[in-house]
């Protein structure tokens, strides 16, 4: 029949528009919030910033020859000082160990407590929080800031903005300055910076860190977490159904809607749609959409929602730190549990313990003496007039103590070998005395001579034994003595 309706495949121009490739930034204006998690965040910020700014100024006496800064990376003299510990470049693996500990520690903490790194201790979070506090102090809370940004540029706005950026710059400069104080003596370099006498490297790095602090904490803020940082993406691999995350209890909160006083709570959710959780969020997301990449787990929305729940007389923790498993249990009315010891957390803890033990053990028992022997390659051996064979060796002694020491060098191997230290008078002997300055590498050239009859084959194994007579400490290096091919 002719009255069947035809269906046309047609989309309007509007419907056919694809999503834009690029989108402008949507400004985030976090609102001030008070609560236990906010207090924890402030505490973490104060402690961490205090450590960062104050540590370079701590002193540690190491004697007249050495720097007296407690924590110092002395690039020029190839030493890393940490209070009573001193690391030589050859021992850089202690730093590797620290990095491994940091990484595994981070995995462990995340698998237990969620993104606490992101929310409380990450430098980006800490400095952005600080800069936002300055902004709130100068420009006002959220609504005032939005109004100020919308307004035309007048005297008031110009003054506020200039003041804010100036304070930001000062903080950034202090941050950049503090960074280079970990690599230079703090009082000296501070004076040098202000009198124009610091090296170009100091100015360059201080300037670099000032610029990056100002840009990242002042301008970029949540863009770092959302777009630049790889950690949010890695977090997904760290979390499982027993990790604490900031969750919205959808089964309790929905259906959401405005609530008038004395209205019933039956047939509706506890969420009064006040949007406080969105207003206080530093990354500008809505936690009610669920666990998402942009959520840094700072729990400011928890504080905000709880203050509202208290006012409307509903139970707290509509938004809370909870595990996925527990949320499902709560939704069904079943008992909740926290599984701290899971295969994941146990394995991370064991790795942490193992690496820390190895590092501690090797740090406590590391030798203060080391010997390295380089066999001269050209000539490999020299035939002397009387037919005996002579080999040359370059011996490097590492004296890793703060005292000058004398060592005795002897040989183990063929009997009656004679050693001659180049530059030391007195001919060849079976043992020689080598003097080393404190905290340094001493280099000696030694000739070892063997009569031809003592050499069978073209290689004879010998060992150089270095001994500190006072402490009995010994270092041995196995080398070889070469002769003409038979």
Partner 1 sequence: MPTKIEKDAVTGTETTGHEWDGIKELNNPLPKWWLYVLYACIAWSFGYYVLYPSFPGLDGLMGYSQRVVLSEDLARAKARQAGNLERVATTPVAEIRADPELLNFVLTGGRAVFADNCAPCHAPGGAGRPGFPTLADDDWIWGGELEQIEQTIRYGVRNEHEEARLGDMPAFGADGLLEADQIEAVASHVLALSQADGAAGGDGAEIYAENCASCHGESGEGGREFGAPRLNDQIWLYGGEKADVLAQISRPRQGVMPHWADRLDETTIKMLTIYVHGLGGGE
Interacting residues with partner 1 between 178 and 237 (CB under 8 A): 223, 227
Min dist. Cβ of residue 244 to partner 1 (A): 22
Distance CA 117, CA 125 (A): 9
Asked whether the CA dihedral 86, 92, 93, 97 is positive or negative, the reply is positive
Q: Which residues contact 339 (CB under 8 A, 6 or more apart)?
A: 242, 325
Nearer to partner 1 among residue 226 and residue 349 (C-beta): 226
Min dist. Cβ of residue 110 to partner 1 (A): 24
Among positions 387, 426, 427, 457, the unique one binding partner 1 when judged by CB under 8 A: 387
**Element of type H or E holding 351:** helix 343-364
Note whether 43 binds partner 1 by CB under 8 A.
Answer: no
Nearer to partner 1 among residue 290 and residue 315 (C-beta): 290
Residue corresponding to tokens 């008031």 = 156
Min dist. Cβ of residue 335 to partner 1 (A): 30
Note whether 341 binds partner 1 by CB under 8 A.
Answer: no
Q: 196-215 as b/e, with b when 16 or more CB fall inside 10 Å?
A: eebeeebeebbeebbeebbe
Q: Select the span of 190-198, 323-331, 387-395, 460-468 touching partner 1 (CB under 8 A).
A: 387-395
Among positions 9, 24, 76, 262, the unique one binding partner 1 when judged by CB under 8 A: 24
Interacting residues with partner 1 between 441 and 480 (CB under 8 A): 447, 452
Nearest to 296 by CA among 71, 80, 123: 123
Distance CA 327, CA 84 (A): 49
Min dist. Cβ of residue 167 to partner 1 (A): 23
- Residue by residue, DSSP assigns 236-289 as HHH--TTS-EEEE-HHHHPSP----TT---TTS-S-----HHHHH-TT---GGG
Among positions 358, 384, 404, 433, the unique one binding partner 1 when judged by CB under 8 A: 384
Q: 140-149 as b/e, with b when 16 or more CB fall inside 10 Å?
A: eebeebeeee
The residues facing 474 across adjacent strands are 467
Q: Which residues contact 134 (CB under 8 A, 6 or more apart)?
A: 164, 167, 168, 171
Note whether 254 binds partner 1 by CB under 8 A.
Answer: no
Q: Select the span of 116-124, 199-207, 277-285, 384-392 touching partner 1 (CB under 8 A).
A: 384-392
Among positions 6, 195, 378, 453, the unique one binding partner 1 when judged by CB under 8 A: 378
Among positions 92, 379, 433, 461, the unique one binding partner 1 when judged by CB under 8 A: 379
Nearer to partner 1 among residue 199 and residue 383 (C-beta): 383
Q: Which two tokens stand for residue 236?
A: 């997904």
Among positions 164, 314, 390, 482, the unique one binding partner 1 when judged by CB under 8 A: 390
Residue corresponding to tokens 């976090």 = 30
Min dist. Cβ of residue 226 to partner 1 (A): 8
Note whether 92 binds partner 1 by CB under 8 A.
Answer: no
Q: Which two tokens stand for residue 455?
A: 């050499």
Min dist. Cβ of residue 452 to partner 1 (A): 8
Q: Select the span of 22-30, 183-191, 355-363, 405-413 touching partner 1 (CB under 8 A).
A: 22-30
Min dist. Cβ of residue 412 to partner 1 (A): 23
Among positions 4, 12, 19, 264, the unique one binding partner 1 when judged by CB under 8 A: 19
Nearer to partner 1 among residue 222 and residue 242 (C-beta): 222
Interstrand relation of 418-421 and 369-375 (parallel, antiparallel or unpaired) = unpaired
Q: Which residues contact 220 (CB under 8 A, 6 or more apart)?
A: 228
Min dist. Cβ of residue 386 to partner 1 (A): 7
Note whether 380 binds partner 1 by CB under 8 A.
Answer: yes
Nearer to partner 1 among residue 335 and residue 387 (C-beta): 387
What single DSSP character describes residue 21? S
Binding residues for partner 1, rule CB under 8 A, total 29
Q: Select the span of 44-52, 370-378, 395-403, 410-418 touching partner 1 (CB under 8 A).
A: 370-378
- Provide φ and ψ at 431, rounded to 5°: -130, 150
Note whether 360 binds partner 1 by CB under 8 A.
Answer: no
Asked whether the CA dihedral 193, 197, 198, 199 is positive or negative, the reply is positive
Min dist. Cβ of residue 446 to partner 1 (A): 11
Distance CA 438, CA 397 (A): 11
Between 404 and 443, how does the x/- string for binding to partner 1 read (CB under 8 A)? ------------------xx--------------------
Helix, strand or coil, per DSSP, at residue 144: helix
Q: Select the span of 117-125, 165-173, 348-356, 383-391 touching partner 1 (CB under 8 A).
A: 383-391
Distance CA 108, CA 103 (A): 9
The residues facing 80 across adjacent strands are 73, 87
- Residue by residue, DSSP assigns 147-184 as HHHHS---HHHHHHHHHHHHHHHHHHHHHHHHHHHTTS
Interacting residues with partner 1 between 260 and 299 (CB under 8 A): 289-290
Q: Select the span of 123-131, 229-237, 297-305, 376-384 touching partner 1 (CB under 8 A).
A: 376-384
Interface ranges with partner 1 (CB under 8 A):
18-25, 223, 227, 289-290, 376-380, 382-387, 390, 392, 422-423, 447, 452
């Amino acid at each position: 029949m002719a009255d069947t309706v035809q269906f046309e495949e047609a989309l309007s121009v509007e419907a056919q528009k694809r999503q834009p490739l690029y989108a402008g930034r949507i400004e985030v204006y976090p609102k001030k919030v008070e609560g236990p998690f906010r207090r924890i965040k402030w505490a973490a910020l104060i402690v961490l910033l205090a450590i960062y700014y104050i540590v370079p100024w701590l002193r540690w006496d190491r004697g007249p020859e050495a720097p007296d800064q407690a924590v110092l990376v002395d690039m020029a003299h190839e030493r890393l000082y940490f209070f009573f510990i001193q690391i030589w470049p050859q021992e850089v693996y202690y730093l590797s160990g620290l990095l491994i500990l940091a990484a595994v520690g981070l995995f462990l903490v995340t698998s237990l407590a969620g993104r606490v790194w992101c929310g409380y201790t990450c430098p980006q979070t800490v400095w952005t929080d600080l800069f936002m506090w300055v902004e709130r102090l100068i420009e006002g809370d959220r609504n005032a800031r939005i109004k100020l940004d919308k307004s035309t540029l007048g005297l008031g706005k110009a003054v506020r903005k200039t003041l804010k950026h100036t304070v930001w710059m000062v903080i950034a400069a202090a941050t950049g300055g503090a960074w280079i104080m970990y690599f230079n003596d703090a009082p000296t370099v501070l004076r040098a910076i202000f009198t124009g006498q610091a090296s170009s490297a100091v100015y360059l790095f201080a300037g670099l860190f000032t610029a990056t602090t100002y840009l990242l904490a002042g301008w970029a803020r949540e863009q770092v977490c959302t777009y630049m940082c790889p950690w949010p993406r890695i977090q997904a691999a760290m979390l499982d159904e027993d990790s604490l995350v900031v969750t919205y209890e959808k089964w309790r909160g929905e259906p959401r809607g405005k609530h008038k006083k004395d209205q019933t709570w039956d047939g509706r959710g506890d969420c009064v749609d006040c949007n406080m959780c969105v207003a206080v969020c530093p990354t500008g997301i809505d936690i009610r959409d669920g666990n998402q990449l942009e959520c840094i787990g700072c729990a400011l929305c928890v504080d905000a929602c709880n203050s509202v729940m208290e006012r409307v007389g509903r139970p707290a923790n509509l938004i809370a730190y909870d595990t996925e498993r527990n949320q499902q249990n709560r939704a069904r009315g079943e008992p909740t549990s926290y599984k701290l010891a899971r295969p994941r957390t146990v394995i991370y803890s064991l790795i942490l313990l193992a690496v820390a033990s190895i590092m501690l053990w090797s740090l406590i028992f590391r030798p203060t003496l080391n010997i390295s022997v380089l066999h001269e390659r050209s000539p490999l051996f020299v035939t002397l007039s009387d037919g005996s064979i002579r080999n040359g060796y370059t011996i490097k002694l590492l004296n890793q103590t703060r005292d000058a020491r004398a060592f005795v060098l002897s040989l183990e191997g063929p009997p009656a070998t004679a050693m001659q230290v180049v530059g030391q008078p007195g001919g060849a002997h079976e043992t020689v005395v080598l003097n080393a300055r404190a905290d340094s590498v001493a280099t000696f050239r030694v000739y070892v001579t063997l009569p031809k009859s003592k050499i069978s084959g073209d290689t004879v194994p010998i060992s150089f034994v270095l001994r500190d007579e006072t402490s009995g400490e010994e270092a041995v290096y196995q080398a070889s003595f070469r002769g003409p091919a038979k």
